[in-house]
Amino acid sequence: MDILPILSTLRRHKLTSWLLILEIALTCAIVCNAVFLIGQRLQRMDMPSGVAEHELLQIQVADVTSPSNPYARLAEDMAALRQVPGVLSVASSNEVPFGNSSSNGNIRLDPAQPERTLNATTYFGENLVQTLGPRLVSGRDLQSDDFVDVEAALKGLSTGDSKSLPHVTLITQTLAERLWPGQNPLGRIIYLTPTVGLRVVGVLDSLARPNAYDQAKAQYSMVVPLRMGADKDLSYLIRARPEDRANVLAAALVALKKVDPQRVVTMQRSFDEVRRKFFQDDRAMAGMLVGVIVALLIVTALGIVGLASFWVAQRRRTIGVRRALGATRGNILHYFQTENFVLATFGIALGMVLAYGVNLFLMSHYELPRLPGIYFPVGAVLLWLIGQLAVLGPALRAAAVPPVVATRSV
């Protein structure tokens, strides 16, 4: 169909045409960026933890009075938990992936280096790798003779006694590649302070940080052989089969209470709850953006329906004349569909420019990546489709106008 008559008609309705074009443009700009933001949130929510998520339980307890020997109490607690039916493995830990509370250390590759190379999470506790379940891709796990007590390490740090300090560590593959790109990290030394150097003895496939907000740095984690006492703010991590977790958790709490009936349980949860809580804001944001997109598309569709219905009512005599001159119902239907397609195309073209501008603003103020080009054609097809569906009802009513309307209006 020749679009010149359509353009001529639209020029006679500049205000209403431009209002619809601007509505489509704004919808295009917002929808493209909103879908992109939803994708970013979903990608972040799918971030790997590196651990056996569906098998893990976390328990934190607080003693009313500090135990006389916190390390003996820790050993007693661990032994009691291992006796619980269904327990596969038990560990003590200062933190868990996605736990939101992180113990971090500044890493240097040279003790004389004035500025840190990067910041990484320092996990510590006994039996962590076996219980959490990250895959060891090279090297070895930490051994019992690698561990030192936290108090002894702190004392050695203040006195300069290096024998009381840990000497080895495990790091993630991502961290190893960041520190020594393309090289074997085993045997290399990283420094937490000028006097504390740790030799890399093993590399883990993945172990997310507790505060993994920056995806680029989410895997900057290391495991240090430090043993915490039961008087510290530690967690007991229990690994069990997924179907046994509820029973194991209840029995584990009873076992810990038997060791010390006065203690208070401050936290008890599965790792599924840990992940769900950590990403709850991302989930809420994605849901809100979906609502915004749906609302915008509905408003745009209603705008198209309203304007098309208005034009059909305004042009009934013209439509009747065309029918009387031989235009078929299909010709009338196709005319309104083409008119809508032209308006939508102008709106989409303007909307893509606006979408790019909005993305540049988000990039400069919120450190978001560039909007991928694939979102533009997908958004265009979506708006074209919505436009055609929205105009279909008014167009069918226009096509149903009989030729006799032309004579009645004379």
Give the DSSP per-residue string, 81-125.
HHTSTTEEEEEEES--TT-S---EEEEBSSTT-SS-SEEEEEEE-
The reply to whether 77 and 26 lie within a common domain is no
The reply to whether 268 and 192 lie within a common domain is yes
SS3 content of the chain, % helix, strand, coil (to 5): 55, 15, 30
Q: What is the pLDDT along the chain (410 residues), one digit of tens a residue?
A: 567 666 666 677 788 888 889 999 999 999 999 999 999 999 999 999 999 999 999 999 887 677 788 889 999 999 999 999 999 999 999 999 999 888 899 999 998 888 999 999 999 999 999 999 999 999 999 999 999 998 888 888 888 777 889 999 999 999 999 999 999 999 999 999 888 899 999 999 999 999 988 888 999 999 999 998 887 678 999 999 999 999 999 999 999 999 988 888 899 999 999 999 999 999 999 999 999 999 999 999 998 898 888 877 777 777 777 777 777 877 878 888 888 888 999 999 999 999 999 999 988 888 788 899 899 999 999 999 999 999 888 888 877 777 766 555 44
Task: Yes or no: say if 62 and 223 are a contact pair by the CB < 8 Å rule.
Answer: no
The reply to whether 150 and 272 lie within a common domain is yes
Which amino acid makes up residue 100? N
Q: Which residue is it, tokens 């003790």?
A: 111
Supply 369's token pair.
């990546």
Which amino acid makes up residue 98? F
Distance CA 319, CA 403 (A): 8
Dihedral (Cα; 306, 308, 314, 320), 10-degree rounding: -140
Contacts of 249 (CB under 8 A, 6+ apart): 57, 59, 238, 268, 270
Supply 57's token pair.
């339980």
Give CA angle at 126 (122, 129), nearest 5°. 70
- Widest CA span in the chain: 107
Domain boundary (259, 277, 295) is at 277
DSSP-derived 3-state class of residue 236: strand
Distance CA 228, CA 41 (A): 36
Element at 374 (helix H, strand E): none
The reply to whether 37 and 172 lie within a common domain is no
Distance CA 339, CA 202 (A): 66
The reply to whether 337 and 202 lie within a common domain is no
> DSSP secondary-structure letter at 410?
-
The reply to whether 257 and 351 lie within a common domain is no
Domain boundary (277, 310, 343) is at 277
Q: In what order do the strands lie in the sheet with 56-62?
A: 87-93, 235-240, 56-62, 264-270
The reply to whether 194 and 88 lie within a common domain is yes
The reply to whether 252 and 294 lie within a common domain is no
Range of the domain at 264: 53-277
- What is the Cβ-side half-sphere exposure of residue 30, based on CA atoms within 13 angstroms? 16
**Dihedral over Cα of 111, 114, 119, 124: its sign:** positive
Distance, CA of 38 to chain centre: 9
Task: Yes or no: say if 319 and 401 are a contact pair by the CB < 8 Å rule.
Answer: yes
Domain boundary (277, 311, 346) is at 277
The reply to whether 265 and 286 lie within a common domain is no
The reply to whether 103 and 205 lie within a common domain is yes
Supply 406's token pair.
């032309």
The reply to whether 258 and 362 lie within a common domain is no
- How many domains is the chain built from? 2
Per-residue confidence (pLDDT) for residue 410, from 0 to 100: 46
The reply to whether 348 and 320 lie within a common domain is yes
